[in-house]
Amino acid sequence: MNAAARPGQVASPIDWQAVRADFPLLQRQVHGKPLVYFDNANTGQKPATVIAAVDDFYRQHNANVSRAVHQLGSEATDAYEGARGKLAAFLNVRADELVLCSGTTFAINLVAYSWALPRLQAGDTILVSRMEHHANIVPWQLVAERTGATVRVAEILEDGSLDLDALYASMTADVKLLAVAHVSNVLGMVNPVREICREARKRGIVSVVDGSQAVPHRPVDIAAIGCDFYAFTGHKMCGPTGTGALWARREHLQAMPPFLGGGEMIKEVSFEGTVFNDPPHKFEAGTPNIAGFVGLGAAVDYLSTLGMANVEARETELLAHLTEELNRIEGLRIFGRAPDKAAVVSFLLEGAHAHDLATLLDLEGVAVRSGQHCAHPLLQFYGVAATCRASPAFYNTHEEIEAFVAALCKVRKLLG
């Protein structure tokens, strides 16, 4: 790789073959064929530096955080809090506004149960877009059931983009919370979240942005977006599973009650009552995934060195090539055709079930996702039960796109 670049900057040209060599798993074969890993919207692969950071933590520094005064305890705490600091700088926020957690699902549930549940009541509305992942739908349904609030759907257009006029018209006085994806995990649509959150703020609506598919693939400046809450997942951004964070405005974190009770989220406990810790630690009960966050810190270092603008440019280039090749295949339908897209392509091949297609592609060494992608309402909009989803990342190659398309054409013939 090159000299370090800030996350949003374009550095000097990247040697993408050298970058690819940083990812050990990409060197393996599947069913005797070179692996083509196009399931990055599901989870990203890990560079050797991330794997080494986790290994080194367990070999050299393993201890619990914030509990011991011995050397190992201090080292573990410094590494854990260091990861928080790296994430904050990466996303242009304050470290004390980042709650470290297991990922986006936990983060959104934290907002649902700690912010929304105590505040919403009958007559209030939660506005959710049609393209949301279940993690940004189900928690709001649970809150609505318990409070008497209503969940309202913000619809999309046929090309997969949000119907912004209808969205803004739906921001009526009864709407208290808006939940929207930064990038769709099925369609790859990039929503204009800065504009959307500005319109919500004008109307006094609290905004929650699901950043799972954005943070790994493009520069993200949370402060510039202007939302109230932003959730993201570590395992999609080259980090270990079981990691992620919720960013929230400081005033929200101070006003919200704890979601979980236990160790570390307290200052003092007696049978007469408990004094809770300051945010963000107020929301981090119990022993965290310390090694995972050490690995996530290493992932942030890796992505920062690449430069997220370089990552975005590379994936845009791969997406253009992939889309061009798929457009040549007769009977193939791509879902989501709006111009501003991340490198996610959901598709169906006429006469082939998505699961059959993915299974046969796997035999050719190609890993794609098939199913409903935790987005049932979105697929219902298009009238389909399942799709295949190909999602390349910056470490994939143009040669892999050619291999994928060749495998797809071969499978098409097998399916008749």
Q: How far is CA 352 from each of CA 226, 262, 390, rounded to the nearest angstrom?
A: 43, 51, 16
Q: Which of 101, 238, 374, 409 is catalytic?
A: 374
Cis upstream peptide for 240 (omega within 30°):
no
Q: DSSP letter string over 61-114?
A: I---SSS--SHHHHHHHHHHHHHHHHHHHHHTS-GGGEEEES-HHHHHHHIIII
322 Cβ partners below 8 Å, 6+ apart?
Answer: 343, 345, 390, 392, 401, 404
Task: Count CA atoms within 13 Å of residue 64 on its CB side.
Answer: 9
**What distance lies between CA 10 and its chain's CA centroid?**
22
To the query of whether residue 197 is one of the catalytic residues in this protein, the response is: no
Is the sign of the CA dihedral 162, 339, 342, 215 positive or negative? negative
**233-252 burial string, b = 16+ CB within 10 Å, else e?**
bbbbbbbbbbbbbbbbbeeb
Q: How far is CA 56 from each of CA 49, 101, 295, 370, 388, rounded to the nearest angstrom?
A: 10, 22, 10, 36, 38
Hunting for tokens 């993915």 — which residue is that?
A: 358
- Which residues carry out catalysis? 374
